[in-house]
Every structure is written in structure tokens, then in C-alpha cells.
Structure 1
Amino acid sequence: MILAGDIGGTKTIIGLFEETPTCLQAIREETFPSQSYGSLEAILDQFKGSGSRPPLHAACFGVAGPIIEGKSKATNLPWELDERALAAALHVSRVKLLNDLEAAAYGMLQLDPTDLRVMQPGLPRKGNIAVIAAGTGLGEAILYWDGAQHHPIATEGGHADFAPRNDLEIGLLRYLQKEFGHVSYERVLSGPGLFNIYRFLRDSGIAPEPEWLRLRIAEGDPGTLVSEIGLAEEHPLCTQALDLFASIYGAEAGNLALKAFAVGGVYVGGGIAPKILPKLQDGTFTSAFADKGRFAELLRSIEVEVALNLRAPLIGAAQYGLMLLGGRS
């Protein structure tokens, strides 16, 4: 049995997998609100206590944060994780922590074509692949092509400097600098980031915020509400915030594609993309993606796909667990 986890700032998904002759089969999965627990070990204790306890042979967890020498301090959680401590808690010798986007990259390679939606058709080429995923934070990874297979590489590119492209985005940068000092792409391309864009447009006087909108945002998740109202075009503040979000998302995906020389394609993962798919498909994203001057033609030749299956990081962690046992990858 393989225990796998997708650990994020909002939720943690734990799954138990069994290898079959044709695939890894999910035996049981459970989702936990991350902020309600003081540690991953506390979640694992509850998961183990809520069902049967078959013997474990390996465990792998994708974590939203950097992994250094088997240890991680989660970016959006007050948790510290250690492979050795987890191995002792689980009574299993093979335990691995992966960056969550590295786990997602492993998972992307396992998705069925029906789990993907093409936003920009590209040339059918073998080569490096870029993975970008906005959710509670912004993750980026690279699938390096060695001529025979892909190898996921973790990055912390989501925390690189936000690079505005026009006067409006320069205004956004200055607005956020007053609050945060350093402004990373994650401050813009995430659930909280979408609300940051909304606040900038609101406070810049782009359009007035009516009382009904203020109350709805105050009573729910701000980023989710801005995206929902923006998609429905119920108010110009939300519509313009979503437009700007999609454009910056496309631009940063293009930046990553250039840095990784991702001629093999780009996967857009994370929890936000499937929810705003109509906006991502209206050309705003792909126009910004390819707007790279002398390299625009190259960017237009790269296939860009949205991963609709939100289980990709969990699937990827399970696949790496299988590799720890010497199984197929």
C-alpha cells in the first residue's frame, strides 16, 4: 500500500493507493481543512483512525513549499515537515516530500486526454514541458525531457518578482508595494491575488463598489466571489479584475515557457483554472502568453492545456511512492 498526500494552504488530501497490474488504484481518499490542524501528523492520525489499517510500504506527500534535505516549512501553513519524523510516525521506511508542483508534474503525465482541455493547439513535439498552477498560492515546475522521458523539476518561481507590462499593471505593482513591499507573482496570481487585483481597481476608482457587492465579498471567500461575479459579468469591477488576472496569468505562463524552453507544451493546473475556464478560453490568456516580441511565433506554436482533474498532485505523489518501491513510473 502507498500513502499519498496533496498538502495545500487551504486543504490537505490524503489517499491510500494499491498497485494493480495496470494502474495505481485509489482505495480511499479524504480531504481535511489544513488550517484546522496543527500538523500533518495530526491529519494522518485522523485518516488512519477513520478506516482499516493495511500495512504501508511507502508514503509521498506534495507540499506547497520548498523541500530542502527532506525538510519543509509550508509556505501558507504554520507546519514544519520532516521525512524522518513522518517515517517514524507512519512506521514505514520509505517516505518522500515533494514540492507540490513537482508532485503535480508527475501527475500530469498520468492524466487521460479527457482530463485536459486545449486552450492553444501547438505543434506535436517532444521537449520540455512547463507546469503553472494558481490556487491558494502560485506554483511552477518544469518537466525536463532527456530524449527518452520527462523528469519533474521543482521551482519556487511563483515567488519571483511581479513584472508589470503596461501602465495599469505598473499601478497595480505600486499599490501592492505599499502593502507588501516585495510583490511576487503569487501576490497577483492566486485566490488572494485575484482579490488584490479587485481591491486595486476598486481603490483606483475604476468603478464604484455597490453595497450588495461589498456585503457579498465580506460574507464569503473574496477571490471565489470576484471570479464568479466576473464570469457572470454582474459588475465591471469583478469583470475587469478577472480580465486582468487572466492576462497576467497568460503572461507569466509565457515567461515560464521561455525560461524552460517548453516546446513540449504547457500545463495549467491548480484549483482556479477549471473554475474560470470560459475566461481562459476567450483569448485573453493566450494573447498574453504569446506576446513576447521576437519570440511570439515560438510561443504561438506551443500547446497550452488546462488540467481539469484536480487530483493531479495526489496522483503524482502516489506515482512517486510507487517509484520508491521500484515500480513503474
Structure 2
Amino acid sequence: MTAHFDSSAITSGRTLRGLVGDIGGTNARFAIAERSNGKTTLSSFKSLETADHKDVYDALTDYFRQIGGKPELDYTVVAVAGPVKNGRIKFTNLDWEVEEGLLARHVGAKTARLINDYAALAFALPHLEDADTKTIGTVTKGFGDVHAVMGAGTGFGASVLVGGEFGPYCLSTESGHISFAPVNDYESEILRFLRKKHGRVTVEMLLSGPGLVNLYQAISSIRGEPAHELTPAQITHLDGDDATGSRYTVEAFLDIMASVCGDLALAHGAVSGMFIAGGIAPRLIKHVDELRFRARMEAKAPLAGLVASIPSRIIIHPYAALLGSANALTDVQITA
């Protein structure tokens, strides 16, 4: 996979060491990153349960204890599941508040930055190797210097990474809250069912963990079948008690994901490639019909030819957000 990003702005020639993190509602993951000559290595991975710690600073103290002490750090970048405002985040589903100044002082780094978790994934894109992704279809190389990442997990996230002379620059988006657009009568029936329950129906209400449940309930109703009380994990376990309903649900989920993938490629101008992250897609890789996925993704007349030239990949790197956090700051931003 060839990245189209100008790395001269992020390579000073000396080794830079940073603490990187990825904090969600349940787990806080940390690692030590070393950057040298455009290459990044990660070590000392630890995943801590947020419920076991009163705040992020307590978790970091525990992390440093587990890795044998606090190393000398040039910077720290922590990805967080939520919006960062004025260098601060107060988590919605976690009783933690993190502020960049306090974070820098606690870890002993000159520079600290909080970024959205999908911004971290975007910053990882130029640094992913072929083995870090699963390509969907035969298109392996795009053009230009704009990548985008989208993904379904607890919610739906998306970010864009722009390269070129003034890059890399990341634009975090709220694409999960755009309206769902059905492309056939079957999906119109799904929309009709969900609109009666929720009013406006968004992409996130279909492409997420709760979205899987919404889809399952809608499809069960359309098929005239009872909807059991299944969790997202049970729905994606296609050998479960309701395997038939699960299979139809997963099939619709992947179709809609492919369609949204093509929509966002156009909306974001992501001609270098569309990447799919999140907790759900990697678990469903074996169920992806590549020809069907690409057909749905590319069905964007009159620009079907453009979308057909854009690669689509599922990220399988286990620490992609940490890799992106390690590369979110340029050398100048770290050492200034």
C-alpha cells in the first residue's frame, strides 16, 4: 500500500519518544512510541480497565508501575472517544475528565495533545502496512492524497486525512449523524419501520452495535418473524439461536456499510482510499462478499467510475489508534 503523504514535515532525524493512549468507556490502552526517520515502533502495550481507576492520572500511575517506571518522554498524545474542546474532554459514559496541561505534567512530557479516536485512526492510515489491512476487492491503489476512515462500534465514526504540501491535516466529522438513504425497496421497509420508532433515522442507527439490534428488529418484523432479545454480539454470531435472522441482519448491515462507504468516499473526496475500522467489521471479514460489497460501494452513478477506482480496506491492526496517536504531531509541534 503506497501512501501519498509528504513525510518531510514529520521527520527530523532524531528519535522522539512518546506516551500514546486510546481511552474508551471500558478500557484505557497505553503504549510507548518511538519515532525515528519516519518509522514508528510501539512497545510496552497495556490495557487497563477504567472501572478500576478513579481517573486517567491514577491509570497512568498504574501503567508506569506495570512497565517498570516512567521513561523520559518528548510528547504524549491520547485518543479519546468523544469531542475534545479547548484541550479538554469530559467523557459521556465515563466519570473521567482529562486536560492537556495536567496530562503533560503528570507524564513529564513537554507537549500533550488530546485527539478524537477517529482522528487517531486517520493519522494511522499512511503508516499502515499491507498486513495491517484486508483489501476488499481488486483495487489496491488510489490516487491523490486524501484518505478517509469510517467505522461501526458503539457508535459510528469517520475522519478524513489530507496530505500534500500542507498535510497531514485531519478533519474529524460527524458523518454517523447524516440521514440513512435506502437504495432499494427492502431498505425502504427497514427505514419505514425505524422511522415509526425513532423519527429521523441516521447512519449510526444502523451501522453500530445498537444499529445491529435496530436492523435485526426491523428485518424480523418485515419477515413476519419474532425478534428475540439478542445482543449485538449474539447477532453477529451466526450460529446462534436465531441464525436465520442473524444472517439476514448481517447481510443487510454489510450492504448498507458498503453503500455508506461509497457515499463517504464522494462526500470526503477520499480518492486515495476508504478504510473501515471499529469493532464490528473485523469480526465480519469472513462474511464479506467482496464482489457484492464493491458493487454496492460503486453504485454511485454518474460517478460510479470514480468510486470504482478507490480502494476499500478493513483495518485489522490491533493498535491502529495508538499508531495514529504516535504520528498525530509533527516533529516541529513536539519540539517547539
Whether the TM-score (by the shorter chain) exceeds 0.5 is yes
Structure 1 position 207 matched with structure 2 position 216:
no
| Counterpart among 26, 44, 56 of residue 40 in structure 1 | 56
Structure 1 position 93 matched with structure 2 position 101:
no
Structure 1 position 305 matched with structure 2 position 323:
no
The offset of 1:37, in angstroms, is 4.8
Shift of the 278–133 alpha-carbon distance from structure 1 to 2, 3 Å rule, reads same
Structure 1 position 135 matched with structure 2 position 144:
no
RMSD value over aligned CA atoms? 2.8
Q: Which position in structure 1 is the counterpart of 2:276?
A: 268
Q: Counterpart amino acid of 1:92? A: A
Helix, strand or coil at the partner of 1:278: helix
The offset of 1:189, in angstroms, is 0.9
When normalised by structure 1's length, the TM-score is 0.84
Q: Structure 1: any 5+ residue segments left out of the alignment? A: none
Structure 1 position 193 matched with structure 2 position 202:
no
Q: Which position in structure 1 is the counterpart of 2:263?
A: 255
Query: Identical aligned pairs, as a percentage?
Result: 28
Shift of the 77–293 alpha-carbon distance from structure 1 to 2, 3 Å rule, reads farther
Q: Distance in 2 between matches of 1:304 and 1:204?
A: 31
Q: Distance in 2 between matches of 1:143 and 1:183?
A: 27
Structure 1 position 110 matched with structure 2 position 127:
yes
Instruction: Check the 8 A contact 1:207/1:236 in 2, yes or no.
Output: no
The offset of 1:103, in angstroms, is 0.7
The offset of 1:241, in angstroms, is 0.5
The offset of 1:249, in angstroms, is 0.7
The offset of 1:78, in angstroms, is 4.7
Q: Structure 2: any 5+ residue segments left out of the alignment? A: 1-16
Q: Which position in structure 2 is the counterpart of 1:227?
A: 236
The offset of 1:240, in angstroms, is 0.6
| Counterpart among 186, 193, 201 of residue 183 in structure 1 | 201
Q: Which position in structure 1 is the counterpart of 2:286?
A: 278
Shift of the 11–284 alpha-carbon distance from structure 1 to 2, 3 Å rule, reads farther
Q: Distance in 2 between matches of 1:195 and 1:133?
A: 17
**Runs ≥4 in structure 1, deviation > 6 angstroms?**
none
Q: Counterpart amino acid of 1:117? A: K
Q: Which position in structure 2 is the counterpart of 1:126?
A: 144
The offset of 1:57, in angstroms, is 2.4
Q: After superposing the two structures, state which structure 1 stretch, 91-100 or 179-188, moved more.
A: 179-188
Q: What is the CA deviation profile of residues 156-212 of structure 1, one whole-angstrom value per residue up to 9, with x for unaligned ones?
A: 212223333334333433444455555332221112221221122234444345xxx
Aligned residue pairs total: 317
Helix, strand or coil at the partner of 1:45: helix
Helix, strand or coil at the partner of 2:303: helix
Q: Counterpart amino acid of 1:312? A: A
Helix, strand or coil at the partner of 1:103: helix
| Counterpart among 157, 161, 180 of residue 179 in structure 2 | 161
